[in-house]
Structure 1
């Protein structure tokens, strides 16, 4: 009788060990898959951040070229160059607009300051030199907000790996909003009441 019980225990223990090994193997596989997915997402976000940074720099550089060219004498070549630069500025603005989340306050402020800058550039190109100072205010705001957009995205990359608590996520959002509120809104005087962000 003892021999038949031990004969029965061996297959049961063997089956339990096999099930346990399968569960551990599946758990490790799921963990590795999630980790790999997080890593791929982080790599994509890093590429997105780099591309956005390059396009923002391109926008600022084009704005400065327009402001510099507006100082030169009026010629046919200059007019064509300014038209091309304004076209490039609009294309860059559209590209950036498609990349950012319009539902986030920081992104919306970025887009507002870019739109105001581009508007100033169009008028400056047609001789309104008095708008150069205003354009520079919008560019200063845009650059400050750009740093917040980048910081927000780096937080997302980091959060993909460390999986922070809800309290930490709320703290990150609160800090971002506080920093955004400290940046002077150069667009506020030029927006209709009720539209100020």
Structure 2
């Protein structure tokens, strides 16, 4: 058994099937991550547009109400005349609320609830503070969601970590295989050692025998 067979005992067709399955799995995860990121980006764009429309309309309405109040004019008639604008404000608030997660965006939902309070129960100054709070809170939410899009979905992060582990293991295994193969080639190319010389025993001449 050679070195490659010892390290990689899986037959060729089975190895090819495993590689094909792994590639298919990676492509599926990446495609799903890409689609989820697109949906999240669309959610970010929609929330930004709804908040911008709501804040712009709410501030314009508050400015008029404050001006009429300062001049001691009847602001209630203006509210009645601009009924369509108030309806749009409430529609935007509802759309924003439906985009939010109660477990993650509780502060934003609490601020939006302020605008559903009966008008006499809240002053224009408090309403203006609530609008500023919505702007500040929405900026935090949009920043957080954008970081999530930039970072990637959990499945993508998991796949990236696993891929790094496999790459590191492949590099280490390849280095070990190269070292082992180099040693094998060195031992094969090494010239054979000369045969050990056998020492020939010296024969001592025998003394002449004395004849009597």
- Where does residue 178 of structure 1 map in the other structure? none
CA RMSD in angstroms, aligned pairs only: 2.8
Unmatched runs of 5 consecutive residues or more in structure 2: 1-9, 159-212
Aligned to 1:163: 157
Give the match's secondary structure for 2:148: helix
Distance in structure 2 (CA, Å) of the matches to 1:46 and 1:81: 37
CA contact (8 A) 1:89 1:118 kept: no
| SS of equivalent to 1:163 | helix
Residue 115, structure 1, aligned to residue 109, structure 2: no
Tell me the number of residue pairs that the alignment of Structure 1 and Structure 2 aligns: 143
Compare CA radii of gyration and give the structure with the larger one: 2
Contact preservation (8 Å) 1:69, 1:82:
no
Q: How far did 1:158 drift?
A: 2.7
**CA displacement, residues 159-184 of structure 1 (integer Å, 9 cap, x when unaligned):** 325628xxxxxxxxxxxxxxxxxxxx
Q: Of 43, 47, 50, which residue of structure 2 is paired with 1:48?
A: 43
What TM-score results when the alignment is normalised by the length of structure 2? 0.59
For residues 76 and 144 of structure 1, what CA distance do their matches in structure 2 show?
Answer: 29
Q: Shift in Å at residue 21 of structure 1? A: 0.9
Partner of 2:24: 29
Aligned ranges for residues 33-182 of structure 1 at < 5 Å?
Answer: 33-70=28-65, 71-72=67-68, 74=74, 78-104=78-104, 107-119=105-117, 122-123=119-120, 131-160=123-152, 163=157
Shift of 1:114: 1.8
* Deviation of 1:133 (Å): 1.9
**Quick one: structure 1 residues 134 and 79, their matched pair in 2 at CA, closer, same or farther if it must change by over 3 Å?**
closer
TM-score, structure 1 normalization: 0.63
Give the secondary-structure state (helix, strand or coil) at the position aligned to 1:37. Answer: helix
* Contact 2:62-2:128 at 8 Å conserved across structures: no
